[in-house]
Structures are given as structure tokens and as C-alpha cells.
Structure 1
Amino acid sequence: MHKNGQPAIAGLGVALPPATAQDDLWEGYFARHYAAGGRRGLAKRIFENSGVRTRQAAVSPLLEDVSDWSTERRMRRYQVEAVPLGKEAVSRALTDAGVAADEIGLFAVCSCTGYATPGLDILLARDMGMSAQLQRLFVGHMGCYAALPGLGTAADFVAARGLPALLLCTELTSLHLQPPDTRVDIQQIVSHALFSDASAAVVLTPGSDSGYGLSDVAALTDTTTAGHMTWDVTDLGFRMGLSPQVPDVLSVHVRRLVDELLGRNGLVVGDVDGWAVHPGGPKILDVVQERLGLTDEHMAASREVLSTYGNCSSPTVLLALEELRRRAEPPRRVVMLAFGPGLTLYGVLLEKF
């Protein structure tokens, strides 16, 4: 049952840098990167077991080695690469929704991989002809789950103001390749094996008779495990910390989050036919599938995104949603799940008009 004026996802657009096979990245760069300190065998196994077949890089290590670049140089390059990528995603989302750029009332941008002022929100609003009265919001450093609070905020704006909103998630993780060292740092190896670049944009509109209505948003943060996932600004880019205990923490909390989200809407897990789960890695997806009792078919879209695109941070759960939307028979009811620093779990319930 949809309420009149309920915010709906009316359009979605994706833009991707050039893709490279995981095996080629290993042979062409990372095998040398991890040659010292007896790490090559371990790193190769991690790459092979990452669940990633291909992934994208705006700045490919096969062409440019940024591992010794200063943070300043990386941030300058971020603007160069992110603006056209974001513009492409936004343009596709607006076209998909049938909404003109100057109709947008709120433009929200999520990114944790690059910072500059004027940022993507200002530059893209200018370049794409958005209104001078446009309201803007930039969400930084929330990491992999940022798209879902971004969606919730955009939906609240649509419901309150009756105007369309636009959400853009753009991440260039390739700019944060870390320099080689002789330590066996499994967290860095995992990060280098998984992360990828992408941009995804969503248009939300009021009172739509098509698309997916955004019914509810839920969040749960376990601050006792705040140190399990970190994203530190260093002189050589941003450095990921990724504890192997993250799947264990998700195992404790994910069922409760989903049951509460669905329960207050009169639903149970069996009522959901579409699952867009942030593919933080294969173990993350395994834990979610086991704790929620989902089938392989339920997880197929999320596993395909991990295999084809890698972990692109905030846009990734939107890529999983797009996989579901493109099906010959799109699901009627979708739960989106994403996880990140905090440790934080977010869930969004969508229902098709």
C-alpha cells in the first residue's frame, strides 16, 4: 500500500571508469607490489579468493602508480576524474526519471575518497544547469553505507517539500593505493584486492505511479566495534583498516536490523523477493545469507556486482539495486542493506508501484 506523495526512486544512472580483469591487475602490478617480505603467496591467495573477477579504476595501477603520491596530488586528481564521471551518472539518472536538471530541489553527494571546495555538488549543479535556488548536501567519510542515509535524507526532503531530489555517490578508491612495505598487512592486501571505482545517481520524486517507493529506513550502530573499520587520512592518501572480525559483528546484528525494519511494516523476511546487499566481500555476503536464511537466487545480484565491479564503497549497493531493476521481472519488494564504519548497518525498504 503506497501513500499518496510517497517518495519514489524514479531514475537510476551508473557511470564506470575502464574495467580490468582481476588476474591482469595481479600479474601486471600487485605481484610486484607484494614481492618483498614473503607476502606474494599470501597476497595472491587473497586476490584469488576475493570474489572479484573484474573491476574499474579511474587511475589504473597498470598505467600510473599513485602509491607514492601525496594526498594533495591525489585530491587534485580526484576532481579531474570525478566531475565527468559524476556528470555521466547524473545525466543518465535524470534521463531515466524524465526529470530536468533545473527541477531538482535537493542535490546530495556522498563520497569518502575525495575532498575539494568547490566540490562535486557545486560544480555539477553549475555544469548541468541546476537551479540557483537548489539546496545541496555533501556527505563525507561515511564509507560503504553512505548511499542509504543519503537515500533516506533525499526521501525526507521529497516528502516534506514535494520536489524531486538527486543523490550522487561517487568513489575513486584507486587514488588511495598504498605504498609497498615489508610488513604482512593482511588488511591492506584485502583492501587492494577488493576496492574499485564507480559513480551512481538516483532521482527521487513525489507522487510517482511507477518506480520503487521508499517505505522505511533503519540503522544500527555497534560503537563497541568502532575500531574494526577505519579510513585514515595520511600523507600518502587514505588508508583502510579492515578487521577480519567485521563479518562476525554483522552476524550478531543483521537479523535484528532486518526483522525490526520489516516488522514495523507488517512484513517478514519471506515477504521480500529482492535483496540488494552491499558486497563488502564474499564473507560479508555469506554471513548475510546465512543469518537471514536467503537463497542463492536472493543473493545473485549482490554476488554478481562483487564479481563484475568489485567493492566500490558507497555506490555499490546502488549497483546491486540496478541489477534487480534490469531483470525481466523486477522484484516487487526490495530490502537494501549496507555496512560500514561504526560499525554501522543500514537498511532501506522499497516497494514497487
Structure 2
Amino acid sequence: MQSHIVSIGLANPGNPIPQENISRFMQMAHGLDSSESRKLGFVYRKSGIRQRFSALKDFNQEDPGKFAFFPNNHTLEPFPGTASRMQVFRKEAPVLANLAIQRCLVKADVLPEKVSHLILVSCTGMYAPGVEMDIIQAMGFSNNIERYAIHFMGCYAAFNAIKLADRICRSEAESNVLVVGVELCTIHFQKEYNEDNVIANALFGDGAAAVLIQSSSLEGLAIKQYQSNILIEGESEMAWSIGDFGFEMKLSKYIPELLSNGIREFRKNLETKFGISQIRQFAIHPGGKQILRKIEAAFGIGEEQNSHAHRVLEKFGNMSSVTILFVLAAILDDPGIHGDILAMGFGPGLTLETLLLEK
């Protein structure tokens, strides 16, 4: 029996912050002159992102005197270290995750005590006992619930969580497996003015998603097949490390081209595995506007076949591993979508994850 994604609950912190407001904050934080400010403003206008969410309200402030997290000055010195950023994560992540879980379980009409397995996904914060322990206590889950944590795998991590949930459901047919992703990307803002930081600061936002997966259900999105591909030649182009001032991202402007070339290289294998030439609906992780365009071009698909990914990018930005779950939630709620859906995600490695679903 196939496992099914039965329901998805979503949550974001605070109110949406317009992309132009974040651009003005970055111009100040980087100490840019008028010429560089215009260049940065152009990058933000062409990002395909209209707004994002953040656990930090400072990005919506023009007056440094009103900052709550960063120092109250234009230089942001002394710049917050990793410990202070993890304090924000420890405080905010469980609250956001619990909200997404509540929305997910209400949609599925499943009581918290019926959840048998909990899989926590995050690459923007960790501590022990972890977010999953805080969730168990707050939600009233059973004390014999099985819990797992997938950390630091980047934007494709939710795919691994869904695969794990599928295998659990196949081995234990009555399981109610809850996948919970929570990412606070913006707490890792880096103010050094370089290519990696400019790209990351222009793209990432915060969010959480909870996904209920069952094998006993015949509703929702059926999990049919999945496959992993690794592009070794891209390992230095996308990376994520822990620094003294938060987590530091390596995000090359060449990633869209690498992914495009990688898709072309693996297209034959993907055709054999999934029959992609017959698929009409896609859910591509919206890592950025150029990534979506390159992947769509490589597959020869139109933007309308991947429309929900573009809308999620516009409304939320790239929320790392959580983003694809927002795309799947939109597809799940769209009465006009039926049949096979090919979901794709990308992350450090360079890794491509693919998941074939059916609605």
C-alpha cells in the first residue's frame, strides 16, 4: 500500500516584510554608497521575491535605535555571535513548529496522541534536548513516540524526511508519521559585503511546515517513487558551515548553471525512473528565480507547470528545507491539479533529490 501525504500545516513568524524594506536594511548594514546601493536594489527587484518573513523584526526597521536583536547603531557592532543567534532559534523555533503542527493535525482530524513518529528537519539551528523534545511536551504527544532529527542537510532535507516517513509507514501500516520542518534562515545574516552574502541575504526567509504521512489513507498525495543524484563537481559551489557570527553560506552565482547541466546529465535516468516526459505538473524547490528558470528550461516545461513554486518564492522567499513543503501544500489545496507531480530539491553536495507523487 502506498503512503500518502494527508495534510500540511504552515506557519511564518510575524508579518511579511516587503523586499524593498529588507534591501534598505542591507544597504545600511553593508555601509554602501549610492552607487553600490543602486546595484543592490537592482538585485532585490529582480529576485522574484515580493516579501519574506523573519523571526527578527529588525529587518523592517530603518531606525537602528529601534533594533531589538542587532546593536542600536548603523555598523551593527558588536556583531551578534553564534550563541545569541541560537538563543533566538531555541526560543522561536518550537513556537513556530507547534503552530504548523496544530494546523496540520486539525486539517487531518488527527489527535496529537495518535502521532506515532516525529521527524524534525532543520539546518538553521540545533540544540539538545532538541526542538522535537520541546514539541513533544507542548503538543502532548505520547511519551513513547519515536523521534528522529535530520540536521544540516540544506534545502533538500525535507525529501529525506518524507522518504524516511514513507519507509516507516510501509513497515508499520498504522503509523501516523509527522514530518516537521522549521527554518530561521534570517537569524544568520552576515554583513560582510561579498557575493555569497549578497545572494543569501536577498533570498532567504523563515518558516515552518508540518506534514502528516499515513499508509492507511487513500487521500492526499500518494508517494510513488524517489531518487537521489549527487553532482560532485558542484560541491564547492554550495556549502553551509558554522562560524563565529552564525552559520555561513557559500552560494555561488554559478549554481543555476550547474543545476541545469546536472539535470541534462541525469535526464535519461530520470526518464527511465519516472517517465518525466509524461509528467505535466512539477514542484521544483524555489531556491531562486534563476534556478527555477534554468531547471524549467532543462526540462522543457512551462512556468505554468511549476506555477506554485514561483508563487511561494514571491510570497516567502527561499526558506531552505521548508520551502518545498509550502509548494506541496499549495498543490494539495489546488483542486485543478490531478495526476503525477515530480518534486525536485537541491542542496549542498551538490545534491538533487526527486520525489514522484500522485494526486
Aligned to 2:183: 171
Aligned to 2:343: 336
Q: Do the aligned partners of 2:9 and 2:211 also contact (CA within 8 Å) in 1?
A: yes
Please show how residues 60-139 of structure 1 align to structure 2 within 5 Å.
Answer: 60=57, 61=59, 62=61, 63-66=67-70, 68-139=79-150
Measured after TM superposition, the shift of residue 78 of structure 1 is 0.4
Q: Deviations over 1:276-312 (max 9, x none)?
A: 1111111100111101111121121111111111000
TM-score by length of 1: 0.92
Contiguous gaps of at least 5 residues in structure 2: 62-66, 71-75
Measured after TM superposition, the shift of residue 25 of structure 1 is 1.8
Please show how residues 29-48 of structure 1 align to structure 2 within 5 Å.
Answer: 29-36=25-32, 39-48=36-45
Q: Do the aligned partners of 1:34 and 1:40 also contact (CA within 8 Å) in 2?
A: no
Q: Does 1:260 align with 2:238?
A: no
Q: Do the aligned partners of 1:218 and 1:257 also contact (CA within 8 Å) in 2?
A: no
TM-score by length of 2: 0.91
Q: Do the aligned partners of 1:231 and 1:238 also contact (CA within 8 Å) in 2?
A: yes
Label 1:261 to 1:105 Cα distance change in 2 as closer, same or farther (>3 A). Answer: farther
Tell me which moved more, 56-65 or 207-216. 56-65
Aligned to 1:59: 56
Measured after TM superposition, the shift of residue 134 of structure 1 is 1.0
Please show how residues 303-314 of structure 1 align to structure 2 within 5 Å.
Answer: 303-314=310-321
CA distance in 2, matches of 1:94, 1:255: 39
Measured after TM superposition, the shift of residue 207 of structure 1 is 2.6
CA distance in 2, matches of 1:36, 1:256: 41
Measured after TM superposition, the shift of residue 116 of structure 1 is 1.1
CA distance in 2, matches of 1:151, 1:209: 17
Label 1:245 to 1:293 Cα distance change in 2 as closer, same or farther (>3 A). Answer: same
Contiguous gaps of at least 5 residues in structure 1: none
Measured after TM superposition, the shift of residue 255 of structure 1 is 4.3
Correspondence for 1:288 among 295, 300, 304: 295
Aligned to 1:200: 209
Label 1:173 to 1:268 Cα distance change in 2 as closer, same or farther (>3 A). Answer: closer
Aligned to 2:305: 298
RMSD: 1.7
Measured after TM superposition, the shift of residue 268 of structure 1 is 3.2
CA distance in 2, matches of 1:339, 1:259: 18
Tell me which moved more, 73-82 or 36-45. 36-45
Tell me which moved more, 34-43 or 101-110. 34-43
Measured after TM superposition, the shift of residue 258 of structure 1 is 5.6
Q: Do the aligned partners of 1:164 and 1:203 also contact (CA within 8 Å) in 2?
A: yes
CA distance in 1, matches of 2:124, 2:340: 32
Aligned to 2:218: 209
Where 1:208 maps in the other structure, the secondary structure is: coil
CA distance in 2, matches of 1:119, 1:99: 24
Q: Do the aligned partners of 2:281 and 2:341 also contact (CA within 8 Å) in 1?
A: yes
Q: Does 1:229 align with 2:238?
A: yes
Label 1:6 to 1:109 Cα distance change in 2 as closer, same or farther (>3 A). Answer: same
Q: Deviations over 1:135-185 (max 9, x none)?
A: 111111101111111110111111111211110111001110113x4xx51
Label 1:123 to 1:174 Cα distance change in 2 as closer, same or farther (>3 A). Answer: same
Query: Match of 2:341, as an amino acid?
Result: V
Aligned to 1:273: 280
Where 1:244 maps in the other structure, the secondary structure is: coil
Identity %: 28
Aligned to 1:250: 259
Measured after TM superposition, the shift of residue 23 of structure 1 is 1.0
Label 1:35 to 1:178 Cα distance change in 2 as closer, same or farther (>3 A). Answer: same
Query: Match of 1:198, as an amino acid?
Result: G
Label 1:155 to 1:256 Cα distance change in 2 as closer, same or farther (>3 A). Answer: farther
Q: Do the aligned partners of 2:105 and 2:112 also contact (CA within 8 Å) in 1?
A: yes
